[in-house]
Amino acid sequence: MNSQQKPSTVLQSQNSFDQQSMFVKYAFLAESAHIDAKGNITAVAIFDTVLAPGFPALRRDITLVAQLEGTASEAGDHKITVELRDEDSNRLAEMALPIALGSSKLLHGIFRSGVILQMHDLVFKNAGHYEFVMFVNGRFLGRVTFAVQKVQAREA
C-alpha cells in the first residue's frame, strides 16, 4: 500500500464451514434499503458519518443492512440482537427480533440472507465514534462503526 492509499476496513469473522459458523459477509448503514423477491439488496444513501448541527442530535432514520452467510444446519429461526454503543462501549439502545434465515436460499449447503433493520429517532448526545454490534442467538456476529460529527458552519 502506498502512502496515499487509505487502508480498507474489513469486517473480520470466522469463515470456516467446518462448524456452525454463521457470519456477516458485509454490513453497512444507509438511509433506506429493500430486499427484492430474488434476495437482491437495494440501498439508498450509504454512509459512515452522521452530520449534526448541534447536540443532542436527532437522526430520524438509520437502516442497518447486512448479508449473513451460514451452513444449512444454521438455517431457520433465530433471534437477531443489535446494540448501539458509544466509543466507550456503553450500550445506548438495543433492538432484538426473531428472524428466519436461509430457509429458501441454500446453494451447496450454504445460505445467504439479507437483513435490514430500520431504526427511527435515535438521539446522539455527543459527537464521537459509535457502533452497531450484531448478535445471533447471543453469539457475536459483527459490527458496523460510524462517526457522529458536528457540521462546521460555512463562512459567508
Q: What does each of the 156 residues of the chain score in pLDDT, given as a tens digit?
A: 343 433 333 344 444 444 558 999 999 999 999 999 888 999 999 999 999 999 999 999 999 999 999 988 888 899 999 999 999 999 999 999 999 887 666 677 788 899 999 999 999 999 999 999 999 999 999 999 999 999 987 766
C-alpha cell at 5: 492509499
User: What is the pTM (predicted TM-score) of this model?
Assistant: 0.81
Query: Measured between alpha carbons, how far is 50 from 72 in angstroms, rounded to an integer?
Result: 37
Integer Cα distance of 131 and 121 in angstroms: 16
Instruction: Write down the pLDDT at residue 45.
Output: 96
- The whole-number pLDDT of residue 16 equals 44
pLDDT score for 101: 86
- The pLDDT of residue 20 is 55
Rounded Cα distance between 85 and 99, Å, is: 22
Angstrom distance (rounded) from CA 83 to CA 131: 8
Q: Quote the DSSP letter at residue 153.
A: P
- The pLDDT assigned to 155 comes to 67
List, in order of start, the domains of the chain with CATH numbers.
23-150 (2.60.40.2550)
How many other CB atoms are there within 10 angstroms of residue 33's CB atom? 22
Residue with grid cell 429461526, as numbered in its chain? 77
Calpha distance 59→101 (Å, rounded): 29
pLDDT the model gives residue 18: 45
